[in-house]
Amino acid sequence: MATAEKTPRFTHPAARGTCPFDPPPAYGQARQEEPISRVSLWDGSASWLVTRHEDIRAVLADARFSSDSTRPGFPFISAGARQLNTGQPTFIRMDAPEHTHFRRMLTGEFMIKKVQALRPEVQRIADELLDKMTDGRSGADLVQEFALPLPSLVICLLLGVPYQDHDFFQECSRVLLRRASTPGEVTTAQAELADYLVRLTETKRTRPDDGILSRLVERGELSSAEIGAMGRLLLIAGHETTANMTALSVLALLRHPDQLDHLRAHPEAVPGAVEELLRYLSIVHSGVTRVATEDVDLGGTRIAAGEGVICMVNTANRDEREFPGGDELDLTRDARRHLAFGFGVHQCLGQPLARLELQIALATLLRRLPGLRLAVPFEEVRFRGEMLIYGVHELPVSW
């Protein structure tokens, strides 16, 4: 049995390699050589690093690995991330039964048939954004004009948040998700966003609408502060992830012209292609974190109670044992077992919405902009290596 005295392999997060679509090479190497290994963190602490698909499914399905970030030993990727995860915890940082109680207040909002009913509305938003983007122009930043506003508009609509405030909440979001943000900066951004959402929630008490915030008010079970915290989670998770996944997917397709041609010729293959892009790009590069509440034997390694565990879902999604040729993008692959949305009872609540948005975003771009191409050399694209959610800062394209 391995023990906690094992030497850390490297400091997490590790430096990126040459291909910006690939996880840093140190993680793939760990998966090959020592799939459950020790890494050191920014504050000198150590944590377990889990890199295989099968092991991560086991960890994330096991209630002995807690999501409660206030427990001693819980691993954080930076001081700012520690503040983000412990400041005003929502149900994603709770265990059953509290987690179940709060999550179930929202599961109905994102169920398949409800999300499918949004299709015409999301399509309309995508078309309007492209109308505006292409009007009299031959180039634009796809992030600012399409990939970011699309999910932002949709989540605002669902929550009942005025989209005209997007500069404010997107700036808060940038601070919260930047690894180098200080705990003070994170605290301020969290407080500003919390105040905003609590005030907004209060207005729903007198002027209810058809949004999620209003429905949470109507339940009568939660305080405005609790609803505001839930709203903050949904607002950030609802736009940052899809925005980055959309832009990164477009870039990956432009860099794989054969795959792009295949998709243009087979628009019915878009849903499967989205799953493969989720697998291949898996934008949660900082890892999914847990802490053991008791001693657990994980694939022959003993994880002791109180030790942190970081599940590298992006690396596991390249695991050859699960996805042969996993480092290759192959839009014809059945990639549905990917871990891009996590696994276990905490798996992404909004994934049906993310799928719908990604499918519509890609299908609409391919259909309407047959000449879509990168407007700068690939080497000049700025990747979000310093953010908790990976992607690109800008994507200059022309058509």
The site for other proteins (CB under 8 A) is made up of: 60-61, 100, 103-104, 107-114, 336-337, 341-349, 351-352
In the complex, least distance from residue 380 CB atom to other proteins, rounded to whole angstroms: 38
- Least distance to other proteins, CB of residue 341, Å: 8
In the bound state with other proteins, the residue whose beta carbon lies nearer, of 149 and 350, is 350
Residues 35-71, buried b or exposed e (16+ Cβ, 10 A)? bbbbbebbeeebbbbbbbbebbbbbbebeebbbbbeb
Cβ(110)–Cβ(352) below 8 Å: yes
Return the amino acid letter for 246. Answer: T
Nearest approach, Cβ of residue 108 and other proteins (Å): 4
Q: Which is nearer to other proteins, 45 or 100 (CB)?
A: 100
Q: Least distance (Å) from other proteins to the CB of residue 51? A: 19
For residue 127, which of 383, 361, 333 has the smallest C-alpha distance? 361
Q: Positive or negative CA dihedral for 242, 285, 233, 197? A: negative
Nearer to other proteins, 104 or 321 (CB): 104
CB hemisphere CA count around 17 (13 angstroms): 10
Nearer to other proteins by Cβ, of 4 and 112: the residue is 112
Cβ atoms of residues 153 and 205 within 8 Å: no
Measuring CA to CA, which residue among 72, 115, 67, 120 is closest to residue 92?
A: 67
Instruction: Say if residues 177 and 85 touch (Cβ distance below 8 Å).
Output: no
- In whole angstroms, the minimum distance from the beta carbon of 152 to other proteins comes to 23
- Helix, strand, or coil (residue 73): coil
Cβ proximity to other proteins: between 339 and 363 the closer is 339
Q: To the nearest whole angstrom, how small is the minimum distance from the Cβ of residue 224 to other proteins?
A: 22
Q: Which lies closer to other proteins via its Cβ, residue 109 or residue 145? A: 109
